Amino acid sequence: MHFEKQSSITQMPLHELKVGQHGIVVRVGGQGTVRRRIMDMGLVSGTEVKVVRVAPLGDPIEFEVKGYNLSLRKDEASNIIVEVPTEETV
């Protein structure tokens, strides 16, 4: 029997990624100044993001973006949708 790994893409909010997991920003939601501030920090479509660590109570979450570390609150990160490759064994 031969098994192949196929990867598919899953979209999810940024705050659902686990430590060490990568994602590519697809969309930044939110309203007004919060959305603008997130985008000004480099979180725009096509940007790769990696989860570095999560605070003991789960908030805030530290991300690596464009070579620097950025901490966001869970509610801010929930406005950012990322694509995450998932491997499936067939």
Please choose, from the candidates 86, 89, 88, the residue with its C-alpha nearest in 3D space to the C-alpha of residue 21: 86
pLDDT at residue 53 is higher than 80: yes
**Vertex 64 angle, CA 58 and 67, to 5°:** 160
> What mean pLDDT comes out for the span 38-58?
91
State whether residue 23 is helix, strand or coil. strand
Neighbours of 63 (CB within 10 A): 23
How high is the pLDDT of residue 46? 93
Q: Which domain holds residue 39?
A: 5-89
Tell me the Cα Rg of the chain.
Answer: 14
Residue 16 per-residue DSSP state = G
Summarised one tens digit per residue, pLDDT across range 9-43 is: 889 999 999 999 999 999 999 888 888 998 898 89
**pLDDT tier for residue 81 given thresholds of 50, 70 and 90:** very high
Number of compact structural domains in the chain: 1
The CATH number given to whatever domain includes residue 80 is 2.30.30.90
In this structure, which amino acid lies at residue 10? Answer: T
